[in-house]
Structure 1
Amino acid sequence: MTITEDTSELGKRATTAFAFKLMLTGRAELLAQASNLLPPTTRYDTLNHAGMSALMIASIKNDEVVIQALLDAGCDPNIEVPAIGNPNYPAIHPDTQYWTAVTLQPVGQLLGFKMPAREGR
C-alpha cells in the first residue's frame, strides 16, 4: 500500500466513524446527514472497521430510541458481522462473527430485543 492509499483508507474510516456518531443519536435529521456520508449501496447498513452496523452498536447499548429510529430508517437487523480475516474489517472480535443486531442484544434486556423482533425481520 502506498501513503496515498493509507491516507484514503483513514479518511474513509474517519467519515464512517463520524456517520456512526450521527446515526447513534437517533435523531431523524442527523440520520439524513449520515446517509450522505455513507456508501449509497449500504447506507444505514454500513459496517464499521469492527464489522458492526450502527443498529448492532445500538443493540449492544440497549438504546431503544436509536434502535427504533434506525429500524424506521430502514436498517436491516439481519446483517451479520463478517468472518474474521476479512481485510475490510480488521477489528472483528472472534466471538461476534456472524452475529446480528438481535443476537448482540444484552441478555435480559427484553424491551430492546422486542423492537427488532417486532419488525418481523
Structure 2
Amino acid sequence: MKKEAVLNNSPECRSRIIAITDAMQVLSGKWKFHILGTLIRGERMRFMDLLREVEGIGAKMLSKELQDMEMNHLISRTVLNTKPVTVEYEITDFGKTLEPIIEEIANWGIAYRKAISEN
C-alpha cells in the first residue's frame, strides 16, 4: 500500500518553513560560510587579510558579502582613523551563534569527502 504525502499546514509547520527560508536568504551564497568560519576562528581582520584568507574570492564579491552580513548583524565593521583608512571586520555575538552550525557543516564535509574517496 502506497503512503500518501501529507501536507502539514499547521501554524507551527508554516512558521518553521518561514524560519528556514529566512535563514537560507541570510546565509545563501558561495562565500558566506567561508567568511564567517574565518572570522569565528580569528579576531578582527582587515579587508585585505580576508581577501587573502578566503581563497578564490574577488575583492568586489568580498565587499558585497561583507556588506550583506553587516546588514544582517552577523559581522561588524570598524573604520579606523589611520592613513590610509583601515577597515576591520569581526563577527558579532549574534554571528557567533552560527559556530555550531558551521562546525557541523565542516564535519559533514569531512565525512562526505571520506565517503566519496572510498568509492
TM over 0.5: no
Please, what TM-score do these two structures have when normalized by structure 1? 0.32
From the CA coordinates, give the structure whose radius of gyration is larger: 2
Please, what TM-score do these two structures have when normalized by structure 2? 0.32
More helix as a share of residues? 2
More strand as a share of residues? 2
